Amino acid sequence: MKKELPKVYEPQEAEARIYRMWEENGCFEGHRDPDKKPFTIVMPPPNVTGQLHMGHAMDCTLQDILTRFKRMQGYAALWVPGTDHAGIATQIKVEEELRKNEGLSRYDLGREKFLERVWDWKHKYGNRIVEQQKKLGASCDWSRARFTMDEGLSNAVRHVFVSLYKKGLIYKGSRIINWCPHCVTALSDAEVEYKDKPGHLWHLKYPIKGEPGRYVIVATTRPETMLGDTGVAVNPKDERYQDLIGKTCILPLMDREIPIVADEYVDLEFGTGCVKMTPAHDPNDFEVGLRHNLESIRVLDDNGRINQNGGKYEGLDRYEARKVILADLEALGLLEKVEDHQHNVGTCYRCGTDVEPIISAQWFVKMEPLAREALRVVNEGEVKFVPDRFSKIYTNWMENVHDWCISRQLWWGHRIPAWTCEECGHITVSESDPTECEHCHSKHIKQEDDVLDTWFSSALWPFSTLGWPDENSEDYKYFYPTDVLVTGYDIIFFWVARMIFSGCEHTGKPPFHTVFIHGLVRDDKGRKMSKSLGNGIDPLEMADQYGADALRFNLITGNSPGNDMRFYTERCEAMRNFANKIWNASRFLMMNLTIDKCELPAQLELEDKWILSKLNRVIPEVTENMERYELGVAAQKVYDFIWDAYCDWYIELTKTRLQGEDEDSKVRAQQVLCYVLTETLKLLHPFMPFITEEIWQALPHEGDYLMLQQWPEHHVSLDFPEEEKAMELIMDAIRAIRARRAEMNVPPSKKAQLTISTLERSVFEQGIPFLKRLAYASDVKIVEATDEVEAQGMVVVTTHAARLYLPLAELVDLEKEKARVQKELDKNRKELDKLETKLQNPGFVNKAPAQVVEAERERADKLRALLVKLEESMASLS
């Protein structure tokens, strides 16, 4: 029974209903099928604290497009969703609520009670972003949704930690690490964002011991760290300081004697050529300190305050201490000078606080052995980046990677599975909780308080979510390695690199064969969306206002791999108009539909062959673009075919048949209209899943859901190159005539005889019905190109295949039209004369802003072009 489509498409009602239908009927589930190839994507797990933003919407849309495409191609498609426990972000969120609502800290509750609060928070709010993803149409297998602290994933984390520890690839040691005084935890190198900030270079005088009046002058951007100085270094090639090497100087304010050492690390050109050495607070100084046996004295505590090693400055915040120290140095005459200095400052990727390098006992992963295989699989093409330029960024980082600090001073997360013996000091590392020291068997053992870096668990995501480390897991054996990772370029180091080396090390295989990198979604001015700028756009608001399909299509059209895109709200409106165009075209077909099966007729008209041939050509092009991850190009081709070829042309070309008396021709037109629309809906479905499913359900069809239909394929039998070329010649003529009539302000209701002079007589004879209807011809006469046509009083329109003659007198009142065109000519000539006089005036050209002058020049060029057209019109009227 034929289903009617409502007059207006209401996405807010339809989208929720359709998604519920898909989900309730298991359309998203990924099943192992020995007769199918698997296609697997794992979702980059959003933070459990997350609120869907435009970057999430972009990422979600790209993954959904690929998954729907591969599902329709016949793959056993699985898109694994999930969320990340987000150690720092979640703990901070819960601590803030605790402090605000109850005036308590986590220490007031204790570790166990605090973690209960975090789990409560997770159960209450952690599903929010999942529901938001569903509104966008995400076709994930939600029955497989994972959380990085699920039991299975937690077991995988312990297994990996123990495995790496036993191989000597995890160790505990005191090294310089990045420390956030606000989050009060260590950070890895990848978690530090460097920002160019204005600052100062302070030149300080350190007195030479035993040489009154002589000083070494050091330059520093962080004078508060001088309290922990244990040496001064100069370059051994620096002739200025040869006699000072081996001597000592006095550290001002602390009155501590420190050595002057020679080390090639010192840049002769920077500052004074003398560098203060603070091994406990600078990674380079730490390395110099190791070479010269310099003492490490830490002078900052975990909250960024001066500690007991800072003498009278103890308790001051690092920046308060800086002011006091500089004032004291100036009072002693030891502040030589101050220079403005722009420098890169490391900031915490979570809170933006300036990071402090400090020496601290932490857990590390040795990266050099792991990086070798991770580099090989990319260099040899086992893992490809799209676009390829990001492979160079990845390679450069991996070749210079430092050991990864994996311990965090948090309570929320995977607690490090290491127990220290309080009697012999031995560390026992175990997958299960031990009851005694494995070395001396003492029962007095204490587990590490720290947890693992969040990225440690998410590095295992592509295989831990599929059942690993159980090598016999059927899902793991069938769906791993996964196929494509879709992610932004901003987490190549955070996550992508770590997944690659983790997959290679623990499974013996790279975790995916392709890394599809997308850019950031910026605002319409090209700025990064942020809370501070207040320029964020809520994707859910866009979806509510325009429909999720319109939002998705906006995000994908014009998008190219790896490049940032600007988000224009107006384009959502344009894409909603596109959805309405498809809806109205479908309603037109439904109102004219008498058939109950969408299949092609045996006999085809010229226009049928044209549209089928065009569709047959666009199918492999779109498929190839999709396979190459050129999703924006693919979307644009589908858009152009629907809007231009199907809606604006083919529907119009068939109206004469649909409204005619020939029942056979009418049915054939319906069959082709229905077939082409159905195949086109399949092409469009990955991009706009909701409206395509809604329309398809109303059309005659086999099967239950469009999303499970077979992807369109090219059919040689539907290639009609000659007919396609012929139809294009007729369409060129129609376009040319309509354009000329529009120039002459001739209304469509005013028809005139059309004479066509052409070498393609047989082609244009087939096009007579279309020329009459669409080129507003009262009659059409076709003559050979060699025949002479009386051109007097005719408007002549030329295409590359024909000359088209229209009797001028039948179209316009010649005298009135001449008067109108002459009036336009006079008005625009006068305007151009004024502009040219202005542009020849040196006073204006030299004094007006450059952009104003340029705008006036552009206006003059446009007026000249308009005058040319008006003169051509006047010539044709004469």
- State pLDDT tens for residues 17-51: 999 999 999 999 999 999 999 999 999 998 888 78
Q: Which helix (H) or strand (E) holds 216?
A: strand 215-220
DSSP string spanning 408-422?
A: ES-SSS-B--EEEET
Strand order in the sheet with 777-784: 777-784, 752-758, 802-807, 794-798
Residues comprising the chain, all counted: 878
- 607 closest CA partner among 753, 805, 774, 748: 774
Per-position b or e across 551-584, b if 16+ CB within 10 A of its CB: bbbbbbbebebbeebebeeebbeebbebbebbbb
**Mean pLDDT within 651-655:** 95
**C-alpha separations of 850 from 627, 835, 853 in Å:** 47, 16, 5
Nearest to 453 by CA among 117, 170, 182, 194: 170
Instruction: Tell me the per-residue pLDDT of 278-330, one tens digit each, with 9 for 90 and over.
Output: 999 998 999 999 999 999 999 999 999 999 999 999 999 999 999 999 999 99
In the DSSP assignment, the letter for residue 73 is T
Of 500, 404, 492, the residue nearest 452 (C-alpha): 404
Read off the pLDDT band of 69 (50, 70, 90): very high
**Separation between Cα atoms, residue 208 and residue 214, nearest integer Å:** 6
Q: How do residues 435-463 score in pLDDT, each as one tens digit?
A: 999 999 999 999 999 999 999 999 999 99
pLDDT bracket for residue 1 (50, 70, 90): very low
Element (H, E) at 396: helix 389-399
pLDDT of residue 877: 67
- Quick one: CA torsion of 451, 452, 455, 458, rounded to 10 degrees? -90
Residue range 171-183: mean pLDDT, rounded: 91
Pairing state between β 231-234 and 521-522: unpaired
Given a contact cutoff of 8 angstroms between Cβ atoms, the answer to whether 181 and 302 are in contact is yes
Q: Does the pLDDT value for residue 190 go beyond 80?
A: no
| Mean pLDDT estimate for the chain | 92
Residue 731 has pLDDT above 90, yes or no: yes
As a whole number of angstroms, the distance between CA 352 and CA 451 comes to 22
d(CA 109, CA 95): 11
Query: What is the DSSP secondary structure assignment for residue 338, as one 8-state letter?
Result: E
Q: What is the pLDDT of residue 490?
A: 81
Q: Give mean pLDDT, residues 351-355.
A: 87
Contact by Cβ (8 Å): 671, 601: yes
What phi and psi, each to the nearest 5 degrees, are found at residue 417? -85, 60
Residue 450, token pair as written in the block: 């720290």
What pLDDT sits at residue 878?
66
Percent share of the chain, pLDDT over 70: 99
Tokens of 191: 């978690």
| Contact by Cβ (8 Å): 651, 608 | no
In DSSP terms, which residues pair with 207 in a beta bridge? 215
The answer on pLDDT for 816 being more than 80 is: no
Tokens 């319109």, located at residue? 550
134 annotated to bind ligand? no
Q: State how far Cα 407 lies from the chain centre.
A: 29
Q: Please report which helix (H) or strand (E) contains residue 743, including its range.
A: helix 721-743
Q: What distance in Å separates the CA atoms of residue 641 and residue 611, rounded to the nearest whole number? A: 9
Phi, psi of 404 (to 5 degrees): -95, 120
Helix/strand/coil percent split, the chain, to 5: 50, 20, 35
CB atoms within 10 A of CB 811: 20
CB 302 within 8 A of CB 269: no
Cα separation, 572 vs 550, whole angstroms = 6
Q: Where are the beta strands (DSSP E) in 489-611?
A: 514-518, 521-522, 565-566
- H or E element in which residue 578 lies: helix 569-591
Which tens digits make up the pLDDT trace of 80-119? 999 999 888 899 889 999 999 999 999 999 999 999 999 9
Residue 602's contacts (CB-CB under 8 Å, 6 or more residues apart) are none
pLDDT band at 156 (very low <50, low <70, confident <90, very high): very high
Looking at 592-688, list the stretches that DSSP marks H as alpha helix, in order from N- to C-terminal side. Answer: 606-627, 631-640, 651-658, 663-684
Percent of the chain with pLDDT over 90: 74
How far is it, in rounded angstroms, from Cα 695 to Cα 648?
19
**pLDDT for position 443:** 94
Give me the pLDDT at residue 790, please: 76
User: Angle at Cα 368 formed by Cα 364 and Cα 369, nearest 5°?
Assistant: 100
